[in-house]
Amino acid sequence: MISKTLPKKQMYFTNRKLDDGMGKAVARRTYLRKIIDSKTGRERWEKWSEVADRVALGNTLLLNNIKGTGLLKGLPSRVKENKEHQIEEREILRKHIANASLLMSGRHLQHGDETQPGRNMEVFTNCASASSSYILFYLLMNGSGVGRSYDDDMCVVDWDNMPSVRCVISQDHPNFVWGFDESVLDAKHKYGKGDNIHWFEVPDDREGWAQAVELMETMTFEKKFKNELLILDFSKVRAAGSLIRGMQNRPASGPKPLMNAIERVVTIKGAGMPLWKQALFIDHYLAECVLVGGARRSARIATKNWTDPEVFEFINIKKGGFLWSANNSVTVDEKFWKQKNKHSKKVLKAIMSASYHDGTGEPGFINQHKLVQNDDKYDDYQDGKYAESQKYKPMKQTRKMLALVARNASSKLYSQIPNPCGEISLNMLGGYCVIADVVPYHAPTLDDAEEAFRAAVRALIRVNTMDCLYSREVKRTNRIGVGMTGIHEFAWNTFGFAFRDLIDEEKSKEFWMTLARFKRAVVEEAREYSKKIGVTIPHTDTTIKPSGTVSKLFALTEGAHLPSMREYIRWVQYRSDDPMVKKYQEKGYPIKVLKSYKGSTAVGFPTQPLICRIGMNGRLVTAAEATPEEQFKWLMLLEKYWILGVDEEGKPYNKDTGNQVSYTLKYNPEKVSYKQFTKMIGKYQSKVKCCSVMPQTDGTAYEYQPEQPVTISEFMGVLNEIEKDDLVAEDVDYEHLKCESGACPI
């Protein structure tokens, strides 16, 4: 069935139009580059088709890196075939990105171009995991969200054995502050040289910053440097405001954020905390440093196993607003849910009490036994060489620390944790998620949609051939995550099903079997293409990520989520003296001077999701209108047909190659009592891989509310007051780019 509100025959768009307002604002804030127009010589924004051109080019040039395997054996007779394959792949990928039937994740849209084959893979991965502080820091600086297990046996560094650390900087450095900073000259006079004095000149790149933290962590692990001095010289680090070429000329943060972070790390020494708690604090300080840098996000997930003796302190550690840079979850298993012994009951009660009464939804639950785990060749990592690349080589001493962590990890029954947003299963020693979204709503036919799913598989497998810190893990597992977004629009436009139709499994069977068809296509393509180019068949292949930012480009519902509101005013803060404020006011946009934020003015942009414009005739359900039970049922069906998959007969596969669905389930604490909440968690949480359950918050009491819900009449009233002007573009700020769960803050 095709909705009467859309043309029955859709065509491919060679330059699909970004959604006016939010879509264009997000694109300019995050993905579009400014280029010089070849005809006019003037600077302008990229067109969406030009983004598709450069991203497809960069991805398919990765085929040149694959040598000595299936497709590219270097034989003269195959040169023509290889070139033809590259051209064909580039055209298919370009077509689907330009049409927005395939949206590579934001990292690809931002960085993808002809330089991709020579760059490190971390720049193109969304999220990762780490088992040490210096690697976590390095990955955060590369823009990854990072997950880390804080199980007792995974934290092997006692920071009470840290050497004394001093941060110094040349008095000639532009960021040197007299009377506050210690100069190199002063330090040389004060400390001099000797067997107990260790100087390290911090290089001016991500790797150099990570090396400084690595040196601290490794010296601490070795214990013998406890009474010695480590001096970190930041003189070579470029000044704040300098342009970073590899980050589209965004301004550098300068050396001060890391210097300040290290000063805070030093305070851990002598605090007498258990090792897991030391690591949690140190990783938080380093994450804050990355966030202060401004151009990168600082997203983390911190996990701890329910059997650890101090799990109760972990459950309550964020109470009062502490350690806010990570979302915390407790890893549980089948034994936890079924055995119900004294300890498991106590842990369950503590988690639910903190989650509900603290009003944070934390900590969450991760059903570790449901995460896809394949231990083939896993014990090989006990040599400690599982975290090194061409670009980053750890010190020999560091390998001893990594080897100990690997031995501990290999003895665990479950060694997988999710990334911060929860959609990918990752080895807790270290791994990546390489992901993309297919938008079947934008595909002219189901066959075209399947072609987009297959193209996404091949593109992600090619990304996994890039050099990276976890190259051994990538070669061992070749994990990818092909996801979907705009699912609700697709269900309505193609089948005529709204949300409550979809959770009636029998009624909407045609929709679910179509998702299963796409799942089978992904599994088949992953197997065949991996064989063709001579790499491991991916251990996992399907997922649904939050898709908060790329979905906004075309005003789609985000990932598996229902729309949060039908219409709303999107308020964006400006300095009151910004000339744009006057321009917006002249064009009729609503303006309010903020009293709580001195010198700030908010401009309101009326915003309406696409799903409210496609004629659902009152059958649209928002997240606030769906019951928790309905949302859990929706998740379980997505896991059945898309994550696990079924065959043509509707029978589930025996082997699970899916990742997870990232989903934030909101409930109203004024309508859902604590007793109802605990009953809901007890009944449903064990049936899905992971789900973030969070209370809805009422922001009406705050003067600045990023998204203000309005009625349709209020929305149209504001819209009618605005004079459209192509020269006055709408804007967006980072508040609107955060993941719904808060798991991936910018």
Q: Give pLDDT, residue 296.
A: 42
What are the structural domain ranges in the chain?
127-430, 568-607+704-746
Band (360; pLDDT cuts 50, 70, 90): confident
The CA distance from 440 to 569, in Å, is 28
Averaged confidence pLDDT in the chain: 90
**DSSP string covering 356-414:** HHSSS--SEEEEGGGS----TTGGGGGGS-SS--SS----HHHHHHHHHHHHHHHTSS-
Q: Give pLDDT, residue 551.
A: 94
How big, in percent rounded to 5, are the helix, strand and coil portions of the chain?
Answer: 40, 15, 40
pLDDT of 733 > 90? The answer is no
pLDDT of 707 > 90? The answer is no
Contact 740, 693 (CB under 8 A): no
pLDDT of 507 > 50? The answer is yes
Band (245; pLDDT cuts 50, 70, 90): low
Q: Give pLDDT, residue 31.
A: 94
Beta bridge partners of 666: 694
85 contacts: CB under 8 Å, gap ≥ 6: 63, 71
Contact 602, 704 (CB under 8 A): yes
pLDDT, mean of residues 153-164: 98
pLDDT, mean of residues 729-733: 79
Q: Give pLDDT, residue 51.
A: 98
- Using DSSP's 3-state secondary structure scheme, residue 312 falls into helix
Q: Give pLDDT, residue 701.
A: 61
pLDDT of 510 > 70? The answer is yes
Band (298; pLDDT cuts 50, 70, 90): low
pLDDT of 452 > 60? The answer is yes
In CATH, what number does 568-607+704-746 get?
A: 3.90.1390.10
Cα dihedral sign, 498-739-661-461: positive
Q: Minimal CA–CA distance to 375: which of 476, 475, 470? A: 476
Q: Minimal CA–CA distance to 246: which of 64, 393, 53, 116? A: 116
Tell me the one-letter amino acid at 105. Answer: S
Indicate the class that CATH gives domain 127-430. Answer: alpha beta
pLDDT of 578 > 50? The answer is yes
Phi, psi of 433 (to 5 degrees): -115, 125
pLDDT of 458 > 50? The answer is yes
pLDDT, mean of residues 29-56: 93
* Residue % of the chain over a pLDDT of 70: 92
The radius of gyration computed from the CA coordinates of the chain, to the nearest angstrom, equals: 26
pLDDT, mean of residues 285-307: 78
Beta bridge partners of 11: none
The CA distance from 523 to 3, in Å, is 30
Q: Give pLDDT, residue 10.
A: 64
**DSSP string covering 225-259:** TTTSEEEEE-TTSPPTT-EEGGGTTEEP--SHHHH
Q: Minimal CA–CA distance to 663: which of 685, 628, 635, 683? A: 635
Q: Give pLDDT, residue 74.
A: 46
Our measurement of the distance from residue 233's CA atom to the centroid of its chain's CA atoms, rounded to an integer in Å, reads 32
pLDDT of 319 > 60? The answer is yes
How many alpha carbons lie under 13 Å from residue 142 in its C-beta half-sphere? 27
367-397: per-residue pLDDT in tens?
999 999 999 999 999 999 999 999 999 999 9
Q: Give pLDDT, residue 558.
A: 94
Q: Give pLDDT, residue 625.
A: 93
pLDDT, mean of residues 690-708: 78
Q: Give pLDDT, residue 75.
A: 42
Q: Give pLDDT, residue 294.
A: 42
Our measurement of the distance from residue 258's CA atom to the centroid of its chain's CA atoms, rounded to an integer in Å, reads 23
The CA distance from 210 to 202, in Å, is 9
pLDDT of 3 > 50? The answer is no
Helix (H) or strand (E) holding 666: strand 664-667
43-60: per-residue pLDDT in tens?
999 999 999 999 999 999
Q: Give pLDDT, residue 661.
A: 97
**Where is pLDDT greater, at 699 or 582?**
582
- Using DSSP's 3-state secondary structure scheme, residue 283 falls into helix
Q: Give pLDDT, residue 365.
A: 96
522-558: per-residue pLDDT in tens?
999 999 999 999 999 999 999 999 998 899 999 999 9
**DSSP string covering 423-460:** -SEEETTEEEE-EEEE-GGGSSSHHHHHHHHHHHHHHH
Q: Give pLDDT, residue 662.
A: 95
Helix (H) or strand (E) holding 35: strand 34-36
Q: Using alpha carbons, list the distances in angstroms from residue 595 to 141, 588, 599, 600.
A: 35, 22, 8, 8
Enter the tokens of residue 35. Answer: 């280029």
Enter the tokens of residue 535. Answer: 């790499």
pLDDT of 81 > 70? The answer is yes
Highest average pLDDT, of 16-20, 51-55, 74-78, comes from: 51-55
pLDDT of 216 > 50? The answer is yes
Contact 581, 601 (CB under 8 A): yes
Highest average pLDDT, of 141-155, 337-351, 450-464, comes from: 450-464
154: left (phi over 0), alpha (psi -120 to 50) or beta: alpha
746 contacts: CB under 8 Å, gap ≥ 6: 297, 734, 737, 738
599: left (phi over 0), alpha (psi -120 to 50) or beta: left
**Where is pLDDT greater, at 359 or 124?**
124
The CA distance from 318 to 497, in Å, is 41
Q: Using alpha carbons, list the distances in angstroms from residue 102 to 273, 460, 482, 486, 561.
A: 48, 12, 10, 11, 18
Q: Using alpha carbons, list the distances in angstroms from residue 631 to 84, 391, 500, 544, 627.
A: 46, 44, 10, 15, 6
Q: Minimal CA–CA distance to 167: which of 211, 212, 133, 134? A: 212
pLDDT, mean of residues 553-565: 94
Least confident range of 60-69, 191-200, 470-479, 598-607: 60-69
SS (H, E, C) 112-175: CCCCHHHCCHHHHCCEEEECCHHHHHHHHHCCCEEEEECCHHHCCCCHHHCCEEEEEECCCCCC
pLDDT, mean of residues 18-25: 91
